[in-house]
Structure 1
Amino acid sequence: MTSKARQPRPSRSAIAQSDLVIIPCKGSHLDATQAARAIKLVKQTARGTKTEIDYAILFSQILPALRSNNQKDIAEQFNDAEIPVLPVMIYNREAYRAMFAAGGTLRTINDKGVGNMKAALENAEAYAAAVIARLRKARTVKEAA
């Protein structure tokens, strides 16, 4: 007997209460398909609650040294469809895996044996800055309306 792994579903309630829904995408066509489903759910939830719900794609687990043709193609398709994409990617780094294995944060894990902690910290800080900028922009737009 085989069991089918069940994908976690985003909660409509959580989506409705969010200031920003970040939709991860690994840069594969399979992930892009799932991201499109998540976008559809965000839009349906927005219609159902009669509110605007901001969302953006986050390219994650991307190899820092190589940007695949698939990822470029998907990014272009998102751009053509005017789907918002955060201007920073989360790179596939050993430091992120080490956080889950050892516990802690990028600032507290022991960097012994963990390569390129500085790059991981810079990437995480850039991601945080991009999210904060998007939230501030959304707040400014709401206040102006």
Structure 2
Amino acid sequence: MGRNKRDTEFLDKACDRYSTFRKRRGGLRKKVKELSTLCGIKAVMICRGQKKSQEENPRFKCWAYDSSKLTRDAGEFIHLLNSLSREERSKAIYEQEKMLNEQIKDVKKQLVKQKRITAEVEKRLQSRPRYSIDDLRHLRNQVEA
């Protein structure tokens, strides 16, 4: 029995959102386990609840595969995150956003540089003489003779 593909869009009903999250959380955990196993890395999944009671002070939950130390470290991180005030969290998020914007600027500079290099290469290619197939055959015959 096959399943229909569901469009990825925001679910209006809270009970549908929670049900979908609950069902897909297991799949996410499986992906974390696979990533950890295949790549030989320590991986952790962090989820933040979205209940009405958590809007002012959301709580985070973590899950790790195959490492009690990682679970402890992730748990400490979650505890620290939960202990931050809303302003401190906003500041941390702003700092991350600032860092990402700097990375975007660097990538844009690299893109401009690559476009300039590509334009120079295309210009050089266009300046080379173009030979037809007949010209190349004639040249081959001259070389072979």
Q: Same fold (TM over 0.5)?
A: no
Structure of greater relative contact order (alpha carbons < 8 Å, 6+ residues apart): 1
Structure (1 or 2) with the greater helix fraction: 2
* TM-score (norm. length: structure 2): 0.30
* TM-score (norm. length: structure 1): 0.30
Larger radius of gyration: 2
